[in-house]
Amino acid sequence: MKITAFIAGLLFVVFLVVSLALIPHYKQYKDCITEQQSKATKAPLEKSPPIFITCEASFIDRHNGVVAASATIVIAFFTLALWIATILLWETGERQLRLAKDSSERQLRAYVFPSGIPTSLSLQDVTNFIIEYKFWFRWENSGLTPATECAMWTACMPVPISNPKPIAFTKAGRPAIKMPLGPKQGIDSTQIAITAADLVDIFDKKARYYIWGLAEYRDVFSGANAPLKHTEVCLEVFIDFDPRKPVYAASPKSLRFQGVTEHNSSS
pLDDT of residue 42: 62
pLDDT score of 76 more than 60: yes
pLDDT of residue 11: 61
- Of 36-50, 139-153, 178-192, 206-220, the range with the lowest mean pLDDT is 36-50
Query: CA 152 to CA 135: how far, in whole Å?
Result: 14
pLDDT of residue 230: 92
Within 10 A of 153 (CB to CB), how many other CB atoms are there? 21
Is the model more confident about 83 or about 195?
Answer: 195
Average pLDDT for residues 218-236, to the nearest whole number? 87
For the chain, the average pLDDT equals: 78
- Of 78-87, 138-147, 221-230, the range with the lowest mean pLDDT is 78-87
| Residue-wise pLDDT tens digits, 84-143 | 778 877 887 788 877 767 777 777 888 999 999 998 888 887 788 888 989 999 999 998
Q: Is 130 helix (H, G, I), strand (E, B) or coil?
A: strand
pLDDT band at 69 (very low <50, low <70, confident <90, very high): low
pLDDT of residue 86: 80
Cβ–Cβ < 8 Å for 214, 153? yes
Is the model more confident about 251 or about 111?
Answer: 111
Cβ–Cβ < 8 Å for 164, 207? no
Q: Which residues pair with 134 in a beta bridge?
A: 120, 193
pTM of the predicted protein model: 0.61
- Of 45-49, 155-159, 247-251, the range with the lowest mean pLDDT is 45-49
Query: CA 9 to CA 247: how far, in whole Å?
Result: 87
Q: Is 213 helix (H, G, I), strand (E, B) or coil?
A: strand
pLDDT of residue 141: 93
Tell me which residue of 113, 260, 133 sits closest to 189, measured CA to CA. 113
Sequence-distant (≥ 6) Cβ neighbours of residue 264 within 8 angstroms: 232, 233, 234
pLDDT band at 190 (very low <50, low <70, confident <90, very high): confident
Query: CA 83 to CA 88: how far, in whole Å?
Result: 9
Which of 76-90, 100-114, 230-244 is predicted most confidently? 230-244
Q: Is 193 helix (H, G, I), strand (E, B) or coil?
A: strand
